[in-house]
Chain A
Amino acid sequence: MIQKSEIRSQKSEAVIAALLVALAVALVFAAPVFAQNGEPTDDEVNAVAKQLYCPVCENTPLDVCPTQACAQWRATIKEKLIAGWSEQQIKDYFVQQYGERVLAQPSTRGLNVLVWVLPPIGFLIGAAALAYYLQQLRNPAPSVVAAPASAPPTDDDDDYEKRLEEELAKRR
Chain B
Amino acid sequence: MTLTLGLTSLFLAFACALYASVAALIAGPRKLNAWIDSARNAAILTWPLLTLASLAVIIMLVQGQYQVEYVSDVSSLAMPWYLKVTALWGGQAGSLLFWSWLMSAFASAAMLRRWDRDRSLMPYVIAVSMITLAFFILLCLFVENPFRRLWLSQATGEVNPALFQPANSTLFTPQDGRGLNPLLRHPGMIIHPPMLYLGFVGFVVPYAFAVAALITGRTDDEWIRTTRRWTLVGWLFLSLGLILGGRWAYDVLGWGGYWGWDPVENAALLPWLTGTAFLHSVMIQEKRGMLKKWNMVLIILTYALVIFGTFLTRSGVLSSVHAFAQSAIGPLFFGFIGITFTISMSLLFWRWDSLASETQMDSLLSREAAFLLNNLLFLGIAFATLWGTIYPLISELVTGQKITVGPPYYNRVNGPLLAILVLLMGIAPLIAWRKASFKSLSKLMWIPAALTIPTLILFYFLGAAHPVALGAYAITAFVGYTTLSEFARGMVARMRLGENPLIALINLSARNRRRYGGYTIHLGVVVMAFGVIGSNLFQTETQATLAQGETLSIGGFTLRFDSVALFPTNDNREVTRATVTVFDSSGRLIAELHPRRDFFLDSGQPMTIPGVRSTFGEDFYVILVDWQPIGSTGATFKVYVNPLINLVWTGGLIFILGTLVATWPDADEEKRYAAAPASTLATAGAD
Contact = CB atoms under 8 A, between A and B. Distances in A.
A42 B408 CA distance: 22
A84 interface: no
Contacts of B401: 99-101
Interface stretch (B162-170, B208-216, B547-555): B547-555
B458 interface: no
Nearest to B422: A15
Interface in B262-308: 262-263, 286-289
B322 interface: no
A148 B359 contact: yes
A160 B415 contact: no
Interface stretch (A30-38, A85-93, A120-128): A120-128
Interface stretch (B56-64, B76-84, B347-355, B381-389): B381-389
Interface in B359-383: 359-361, 364, 369, 372-373, 376, 379-380, 383
Contacts of B259: 12-13
B254 interface: yes
B407 interface: yes
B319 interface: yes
Interface stretch (B7-15, B107-115, B136-144, B492-500): B492-500
Contacts of A20: 411-412, 415, 468, 536-537
A122 B383 contact: yes
Contact of A17 (B412, B511, B554): B412
Interface residues of A, number: 79
Among A19, A24, A115, A126, the one with the most B-chain Cβ atoms within 10 Å of its Cβ is A19
A71 to B, nearest CB: 7
A142 interface: no
A162 B290 CA distance: 24
Interface in A118-172: 118-120, 122-123, 126-127, 130, 133-134, 137-138, 140, 144-145, 147-148, 150, 153-158, 160-161, 163-164, 168, 171-172
Contacts of A116: 409, 413
Interface string B89-101: 0000000000000
A71 B597 CA distance: 15
B407 A155 contact: no
A163 B490 CA distance: 12
A6 to B, nearest CB: 4
Interface stretch (B35-43, B152-160, B538-546, B563-571): B538-546
A168 B532 contact: no
B657 interface: no
Contacts of B555: 6
Contact of A140 (B360, B383, B407, B542): B360
B419 interface: yes
B387 A119 contact: yes
Contacts of B411: 10, 13-14, 17, 20-21
Nearest to B514: A156
B606 interface: yes
Given A13-B410, A14-B411, A105-B404, A123 B417 contact: yes
B468 A23 contact: yes
A14 B406 CA distance: 13
B260 A101 contact: no
Given A17-B410, A118-B387, A137 B360 contact: yes
A12 B468 contact: no
A64 B255 contact: yes
Interface in A51-74: 53, 58-59, 61, 64, 66-67, 71
Contacts of A144: 360
Contacts of A99: 401-402
Contacts of B364: 134, 138
A130 B373 CA distance: 8
Interface stretch (B20-28, B187-195, B391-399): B391-399
Nearest to A118: B387
B520 to A, nearest CB: 16
Nearest to B493: A164
Contacts of A148: 359-360
A18 interface: yes
B391 A115 contact: yes
Contact of A15 (B384, B529, B553): B529
B544 A42 contact: yes
Interface in B209-237: none
B29 interface: no
Contacts of B608: 66
B654 to A, nearest CB: 16
A111 B398 contact: yes
A103 interface: yes
A9 B258 CA distance: 13
Contact of B415 (A5, A9, A18): A18
B433 interface: yes
B319 A58 contact: yes
27 contacts: A9-B536, A9-B540, A11-B256, A11-B407, A12-B257, A13-B258, A16-B532, A19-B537, A20-B536, A21-B415, A43-B541, A53-B406, A59-B260, A59-B406, A64-B255, A66-B606, A104-B408, A106-B405, A119-B380, A130-B376, A133-B372, A145-B360, A147-B357, A157-B433, A160-B515, A161-B493, A168-B496
Interface of A: 2, 4-24, 41-43, 46, 53, 58-59, 61, 64, 66-67, 71, 99-106, 110-112, 114-116, 118-120, 122-123, 126-127, 130, 133-134, 137-138, 140, 144-145, 147-148, 150, 153-158, 160-161, 163-164, 168, 171-172
Interface of B: 254-263, 286-289, 318-319, 357-361, 364, 369, 372-373, 376, 379-380, 383-384, 387-388, 391-392, 395, 398-399, 401-419, 422, 432-434, 468-469, 471-472, 475-476, 490, 493-494, 496-497, 511-512, 515, 529, 532-533, 535-545, 552-555, 597, 606, 608, 625-626, 636, 638, 640
Given A6-B541, A9-B256, A20-B468, 14 more contacts: A12-B535, A15-B419, A15-B533, A17-B413, A20-B412, A42-B638, A61-B406, A99-B402, A100-B403, A110-B399, A115-B388, A130-B372, A145-B360, A156-B515
